């Protein structure tokens, strides 16, 4: 268990670094989409999705990283790396003269997100599988 968590921690660190450089600093959805889709599956598929998800969300929370695009992208990338099939969505809604946008991951019937928002109210404009 300790060794598996260490692998996930190293992956989280590297993905946060690349997200900061490629997407957040350059603000490009196309670059984000390309970065996320270019994930090679690992030959090591022993890591359970529960360990990946729990470790990822716990570490990001401890680091006080709650930005939905960062949380969703890191989780998506990690699950893809270990040959799982998550979906990342970015959606938006305009209501009460406010534009709300949000990113989340859907995996095995569950929704994972940095900040809890009712995703059913959002119009999905980007889906990455």
Q: Over the stretch 22-74, which tens digit does the pLDDT of each residue have? A: 555 555 556 666 666 666 665 555 678 888 888 888 888 877 888 888 889 88
CB 114 within 8 A of CB 74: no
Q: What is the pLDDT of residues 104-121, one digit of tens each?
A: 999 999 999 877 888 888
pLDDT at 125: 87
CB 121 within 8 A of CB 91: no
DSSP string, 109-120: TEEE-SS---GG
Q: What is the band of 14 on the pLDDT scale with cuts at 50, 70, 90?
A: low
CA distances to 11, 14, 58, 90, 103 from 125, in Å = 27, 27, 28, 6, 10
pLDDT at 1: 47
Q: What is the pLDDT of residues 62-92, one digit of tens each?
A: 778 888 888 898 899 888 888 899 999 999 8
What is the distance between the alpha carbons of residues 115 and 72, in angstroms, rounded to a whole number?
10
pLDDT at 108: 94
pTM: 0.74
pLDDT at 42: 59
pLDDT at 106: 94
């Amino acid at each position: 268990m300790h060794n598996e968590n260490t692998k996930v921690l190293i992956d989280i660190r590297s993905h946060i670094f690349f997200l900061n450089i490629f997407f957040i600093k350059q603000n490009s959805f196309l670059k984000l989409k390309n970065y996320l889709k270019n994930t090679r599956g690992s030959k090591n598929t022993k890591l359970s999705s529960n360990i990946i998800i729990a470790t990822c969300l716990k570490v990001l929370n401890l680091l006080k990283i709650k930005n939905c695009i960062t949380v969703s992208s890191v989780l998506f990338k990690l699950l893809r790396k270990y040959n799982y099939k998550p979906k990342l969505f970015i959606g938006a809604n305009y209501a009460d003269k406010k534009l709300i946008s949000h990113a989340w991951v859907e995996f095995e019937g569950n929704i994972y997100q940095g900040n809890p928002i009712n995703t059913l109210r959002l119009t999905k404009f980007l889906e990455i599988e």
